[in-house]
Structure 1
Amino acid sequence: MRHRLDTLGQHAALFAILSVVFLGAFIGAVPANAQSTEVQPSDRSFMVSLRQANSWLVPVSKEAPTRSTNASVSNAGRDIFEGHSRLDVELLKSAEQLGVVLPNDVSSEHQSLIDEMAERTGDNHDRAYATIVRQTQGGLLVMSVQTRATTQNTTIRTLAHQTVQMLIRTMTVLENTGRVDPSALELVTAKAQVNAVRVIGQNIEPSDRELLVLLTQHSLWQKPASRESSDRARDAKVRKVAGQLAAEHTQMAQAVTEAARQIGVDLPVEPTTEQKSWANAISSSSGEELDDMYTNLSRAADGSLITQVAHARATTKSLPARIASQTALTLLLKHMLLLEGTGLVKANSLQMTNTPPIAQQTQSNSGSSPQPDDSSTSVGFLTGIAVLVVAAAGTLWLVRAIGHHGEHRR
């Protein structure tokens, strides 16, 4: 019996060592809030695309109030002009700081848009302006969120964060004019066609159902994990952030539940098996280990989900799904900022965003070739988390086994 206890003890020690080794590598990674001067191709592509969009959105929006006969379109034009003008100033400052060369001239394609809009007036102008601008902003939203979730350059992260916030606001203003055509919700390179007057509808797409399910599962593991971390975390900043996330996941869940009720979607009552393993990893940790585990798992999960939410926000034709995705997008963006503000989020937690399934499905249906995804999936990080969870579970099992045999011996 003593030999068996010794063997169990040795195995327990081995599991503990594996946990410590991985955790040391996990904690020792570069903090995500540390300044990175390297500009990745995806970062540069984001900045160039934003500059190109601003080059024509600013002038056509400046002229919108004088060409429109609709007060809501005039107000939207002013809002978009101011938003993209301020954004362009920040973009140029960031480019100068990072040494990124941006185009100064308007492309021939964008110049043709400026010329076309200059010939339109009245309702003809309003429908064209609302539709074409909304389609452009939808594509920018997805790219900006992708960049915000994955970039390791803090200057670009700040710029992308500002871009997303502005787009969330102005897209809503534009949609509320009632002049956006359904073609504006298709993220393809083809120019949007102005065929209708209003786009608000109750269409139920598989992507809408998938979005609501994903958001529900996210809250089902994040809310209790955040509540527990708000009580048990060692760092006061982590406790505060976790408490705020727990409360706001209630708000997110309510928005999703209401959308599901209106659309007629059955929502899950449990998180996925993988999400349960994340929650268990947090529950089985304590002290600094818990702080790092909670902040990094939460930030990685938020970053993986937010690109799908952004794509849904840009493309859904369902008003309830649009409202839910808008709420989720706003909160996830805020949560990522709060988690990064703890100073504990590591760079490898920013590398878990893939091309979202919704995007893949849309690209397949539209027949367009998928855009290259410069963000990489941190397989090592996921594997490491799995190793840590297994090691922790194995250690716990062995400790219990030792206790059980010890009691039996007595």
Structure 2
Amino acid sequence: MGGALSLTIVALAYPTMLGFNKVSTAQDRVIAQTQWGPLTEQDRDFVVKVRAAGLWEYPLGKVALEKGTTPEVKEAGRHLIDGHAALDAACRKIAPMLNVTLPNVASPQQQGFVNQIETSSGKQFDSNFANILRTTHGSIFNTIAKIRSTTKNSLVRSLADMANDTVLDHITVMEKTGFVNFDQALFQQTTPPKLPDTDLTPPAPQPGAPMVVLSPPPNPTSTPIAIPGEQAGAGASPSPTIG
């Protein structure tokens, strides 16, 4: 899949501590040598993190189309669906090439965000949606820059390029809703809650469970990931979809 694979170890341990405030603690230890360059712990964790982000933000994009009270909130929902469907496809494409295990559900913390937003309505929904997603995107934005500037793996670098554009777009559309409290967002980004690792880590998928796929919208606008030397037709077999 995607060319010959040359890993120095057969399986990579499922990562831990993947909360958006934890990436800076990920070690630079190389865990595999691949044809696309060395893969570090933080490279692997980044791929998992991008996948986990889509598992909670993509469904909320659909909720925003139903419950958003303004055109701007609904438009932000469309951007979440489009962007995370494309990032999800990218993660599912490169994960088997790097022998990285992807989650099928988001972390408990992320699921808590979903519950808080979904259970609200009216202008409170709009406010919760815009502020929580602006804060989380603002936090991961710094992580993407760190990965992009340090990784020696070309597949991870391509994913970081794509994630950078997508997250900047999502930050922008959240701000355009007019509901973002910038003081609150900055405070929450710079002083994240200290949660146990179990709350910040998406659970490993059940053995043999089909991979969840985030279906793209009818007219997607996001550009697919560019894979150096990829073979036409390579890709993962889909499974249950969300969409």
Whether TM-score is above 0.5 comes out as yes
**Aligned equivalent of 1:290, options 125, 128, 140:** 125
Whether contact under 8 Å (1:202, 1:263) holds in the other structure is no
2:93 is matched with 258
Aligned-pair identity in percent equals 26
The aligned runs of 1:122-141 (5 Å cut-off) are: none
**What letter is aligned with 1:322?**
R
Matched, 1:276 2:90: no
Match of 1:123 in 2: none
Partner of 1:352, secondary structure, is helix
Do structure 1's residue 221 and structure 2's residue 56 form an aligned pair?
yes
- Alpha carbons 2:75, 2:173 under 8 Å: kept: no
1:201–1:247 CA distance, 2 compared to 1 (3 A)? closer
In structure 2, how many angstroms separate the alpha carbons of the residues matched to 1:232 and 1:319? 40
- Tell me, in whole angstroms, the C-alpha distance in 2 between the residues paired with 1:331 and 1:314: 17
Match of residue 187 from structure 2 = 351
In structure 1, C-alpha distance between the alignment counterparts of 2:50 and 2:186, rounded to whole Å = 19
CA apart distance, 1:207:
0.9
CA deviation string 1:241-262 (max 9, x = no partner)? 1112112110111112222122
User: Of residues 136, 143, 152 in structure 2, which corresponds to 1:301?
Assistant: 136
**1:277 Cα deviation after fit:** 0.7
Distance in structure 2 (CA, Å) of the matches to 1:232 and 1:240: 12
Q: Identify the structure with the greater strand proportion.
A: 2
Cα drift, residue 292 of structure 1: 0.4
The alignment's TM-score, normalised by the length of structure 2, stands at 0.62
CA distance in 2, matches of 1:223, 1:250: 7
Q: Give 1:312 shift.
A: 0.5
What pairs up with 1:239-254 in 2 under 5 angstroms? 239-254=74-89
Contact 1:235 1:288 in 2 (8 A): no
Q: CA deviation at 1:337?
A: 0.9
Supply the distance in 2 between the matched residues of 1:307 and 1:207 (Cα, whole angstroms).
14
2: CA distance, partners of 1:277 / 1:230: 20
Do the aligned residues in 2 keep the contact of 1:222 with 1:249 (CA within 8 Å)?
yes
Q: Which amino acid aligns with 1:202?
A: G
Cα distance in 2 between the residues matched to 1:331 and 1:351:
23
1:185-200 superposed matches below 5 A = none
Aligned pairs for 1:87-166 within 5 A: none
Of residues 95, 102, 106 in structure 2, which corresponds to 1:267?
102
> 2:153 matched to 1:318?
yes
Distance 1:346 1:378, change over 3 A: farther
Q: Give distance in 2, aligned partners of 1:245 and 1:352.
A: 21
Deviation string 1:206-257 (CA, Å, 9 cap, x unpaired) is 1111101111111110000111111111112101111121121101111122
Q: CA deviation at 1:351?
A: 2.9
Query: What is the distance in 1 between the residues matched to 2:159 and 2:187?
Result: 26
- Corresponding letter in the other structure for 1:314: S
* SS at 1:344 equivalent: coil
- Shift in Å at residue 201 of structure 1? 3.8
The one of 377, 381, 387 equivalent to 2:191 is 377
Instruction: Give 2:144's aligned amino acid.
Output: V
C-alpha deviation, 1:378, in angstroms: 5.8
Structure 2 Cα separation of the partners of residues 345 and 235 of structure 1: 14
Question: SS of the residue aligned with 2:37?
Answer: coil
For structure 2, list consecutive stretches of 5 or more residues without a partner in the other structure.
Answer: 1-27, 29-34, 196-243
Give the partner amino acid of 1:300.
Answer: T
Q: Deviations over 1:80-116 (max 9, x none)?
A: xxxxxxxxxxxxxxxxxxxxxxxxxxxxxxxxxxxxx
Q: Scaled by the length of structure 1, what TM-score is found?
A: 0.38
Q: Which amino acid aligns with 1:245?
A: L
Higher relative contact order (CA 8 A, sep 6+): 2
Q: Distance in 2 between matches of 1:250 and 1:213?
A: 15
Q: Would you tell me which structure has more helix in proportion to its own residues?
A: 1
